[in-house]
Amino acid sequence: MTYTASNIAAIIAPETNLSAPDAPIEHLLTDSRKLVVVGTTLFFALPGVQRKGNLFIPQLYKAGVRHFVVDKSPVAEDYNDAVFYTVPDVLGALQSLAVHHRRQFSIPVIGITGSNGKTVVKEWLYQLLHPDFNIVRSPKSYNSQVGVPLSVWQMEEQHTLGIFEAGISKRGEMRALENIIQPTIGVLTSLGEAHSEGFSSLQQKLEEKLGLFQNVDTIIAPPLWVEAGNKVFTWGEESGSTMQVLQKKVTINADVVCLYKDSELHFQLPFSDEASIANGLTCCSVLLHLGYDAATINERLATVHRIDMRLQLAHGAGGSTLINDSYSADLTSLQGALNFLAQQKKGEGRTVILSDFVESGKGAVELYDAIAQALVQHRIDKVVAIGSGISQYLPLQLPDGMQLQAYPDTESFLATLRTASFAGETVLIKGARHFRFERIVTALETKVHQTVMEINLNALAHNLKGYQSLLQPGTKTMAMVKAFSYGSGSSEIAATLQFHGIDYLGVAYADEGIELRKAGISVPIMVMNADASGFAALVEHSLQPVLYSFAILRQFEAYLEGQGLTGYPVHIEIETGMHRLGFAIGEIEELSTMLAASRWIKVQSAFSHLAASEDAAQDAYTLEQAAIFTTAANQLEKSLAYPFLKHISNSAAIIRHPQLQLDMVRLGIGLYGIEIATESLELQPVATLRSTIAQLKRLQAGDTVSYGRRGVIKEETLVATVRIGYADGYSRRLGNGVGKMWVSGHLAPVIGSVCMDMTMLDVTKIPGVKEGDTVVVFGAELPVQQLADWCGTIPYEIMTGVSQRVKRVYFQE
């Protein structure tokens, strides 16, 4: 369904002056970084935590966007042919437009809410029902006040069923979402403590969630949360449930016996964990309500697969970068995967490997034409098509300039695979489950051992937003990505931070900054420890050095003069009490004179380091440092004829000393989820270090373990040898019972000395341990702070000490 500019104006802003009332509007945009289609996009300038959407209008206008929804129109002369729909509430306008759009359709719509399981139930219902319906559904976890209207906007005439999820964080939010989704069937998955900060009680949260169902024909939910009635379908073990669970037998799978309409039904769920069983029974209830019989439900359940909501980013052979999305093949998830691909700036080309797609209600020509359009919009260079359908139809839709390779099946592709043909590329691997594209991922991945560091890019973004929520409007943010981003991987972390609008990046040495530039990072980069031997490379890659002494200042000025470069951006470090690097307060007068007279450099910022901002006992010293810095910075400012940024706050100071935020703050270890102040910001751990058990041995009293025979067995003991050692960054200080690892939900102590490549654990009291089981070295289950305490050190040392031979795997929901 295509709207025109006059349609949009009539719905949200009737007073809008339109120069081209018939201009088509097809795409809604709230995030300037995700612009794909220029000519038919309408941008909603939503207010943000740090930046208002209006700030991104210039770059979008330059890119070709001409339609904007704003709460205040910019100067018209700057945008001659643009249309500004001026409204009092931009989010309200987005939601009103979605409400109008939803009312154009009379198809059944399933609305899903709950504390957990919303996205899984939505995706499983899609898998179970798509043979019979042309389904429109929320992309990934689009369940917020912004995500829901964007999801509903996808509805088109060909759709016969909608499945949308709704998430809330405080009272009053569900009313707007109900009005947008207008569900006919309501599903409540669960009720728990997740996202409960905005509610005074669980009952209040329940009442808010049930607001989604005020106009539905049927509610499907556990009986604990809803009252019985004509329009309620309950499932659970409780007597009187519409579908009563009588028996559950759980092995590798779950066999569940239920009583429904006086008949016993048997369901075979291909999962064994409680959460998946509950989500599966919710889906069974929906299908029973829709009239499906048990035989059909079981036939469909056999094809259901786990929903891996993570797009995994890993290093491939030949310097390639792999995006593993090898579990689904549909248009909605393809758009999300292509958007993630567009975030990655490195690589010589963009390649996608795709299997056959299936979309109920779409003919093959229409389906592959839509896929081809998405590939063109995201500037894909090469396509590998695997499957009979995609090999037949996609070549007819692709433009001549796009490379195409076609194979009838995955085996044919693997038989002819040359990893060198993907060297340097960013490769998206996306296919339906039965094509088993995980084999392609394995073939293309860099071969390393089984110890991996998983990096959660969603957690990184969450932590960044958490800190930014504490900042004063206009305060900029510099993220420190030195030391391989505290062990997490520089270019991948930097690309995510750049995507989320970071103002500056900070590195220790020029070679770190050069690697970021080669990876496509374009934001300003400050180099903390520049030296004369690296000036040429620093300038070549537009890196900004820190000048901390008269010697380095004179050397850099001499280099610039020799190159004929003027006004080069630099940063001035001021010594206030760290006693490491920087100009002392007694040198500021002379420094001011030199900087004011220099035509070769231009100061971008002046800064200093706080020595103990996390320690309440040192608050007086912290404030003394801040006073010294203020004096020095003011003196510099008086001498220079232009403004510059001032910054002194680190992660801890952002929380504990908000008055010191100044023009910019520097985020370090806190960005990676390490709480370094007593006040909690509910940070999420970014890195999880995992390994696996190589072998199990049962030893007897008197046996010894590892070098030096320091691990003495006192009674019969089951010992697990884990594939990690001090060459991977697991400190020898953790040997002989000092350290522990997380195995099957329990802490297992280290026995004997830590070896170079292996470490032994006592797993005697942990049930069901098997060779090949995953072991968590640190992560959410075992915080890195705990390892640091055991070692008598700080989390920085643990994080940065993880060896480069440990593979980093990046993922994003």
What is the sign of the dihedral through the CA atoms of 167, 169, 174 and 176? negative
Q: Residue 403 CB: number of other CB atoms within 10 A?
A: 12
Q: Which residues contact 500 (CB under 8 A, 6 or more apart)?
A: 461, 464, 465
- The DSSP output letter for 29 is E
Task: Write out 273-323 in H/E/C secondary structure.
Answer: CHHHHHHHHHHHHHHHHCCCCHHHHHHHHCCCCCCCCCEEEEEEHHHCEEE
Per annotation, catalytic residue among 79, 292, 621, 707: 707
**β strands within 669-771, DSSP E:** 687-699, 704-705, 711-712, 717-722, 740-743, 746-751, 759-762
On whether the CB atoms of residues 357 and 390 are closer than 8 A, the answer is: yes
What is the sign of the dihedral through the CA atoms of 103, 104, 109 and 114? negative
**Can 482 be counted among the known catalytic residues?**
yes
Please spell the DSSP secondary structure of 104-149, one letter per residue.
T--S-EEEEE-SS-HHHHHHHHHHHHTTT--EEE--TT--STTHHH
Please spell the DSSP secondary structure of 205-247, one letter per residue.
HHHHHHGGGTT-SEEEE-TTTS---TTEEEEESSTT-SEEEEE
Q: Which residues contact 10 (CB under 8 A, 6 or more apart)?
A: none
Q: Which residues contact 209 (CB under 8 A, 6 or more apart)?
A: 113, 114, 168, 174, 188, 191
**Can 707 be counted among the known catalytic residues?**
yes
Q: Residue 514 CB: number of other CB atoms within 10 A?
A: 19
On whether the CB atoms of residues 187 and 111 are closer than 8 A, the answer is: yes
Q: Strands 645-647, 601-607: parallel, antiparallel or unpaired by DSSP? A: parallel
Question: In this structure, what token pair is assigned to residue 538?
Answer: 């620093």
Helices and strands in the chain, H and E counts: 25, 39
Per annotation, catalytic residue among 476, 482, 646, 807: 482
Question: Backbone dihedral region of 461: left (phi > 0), alpha (psi from -120 to 50 degrees) or beta?
Answer: alpha
List the catalytic residues.
482, 707
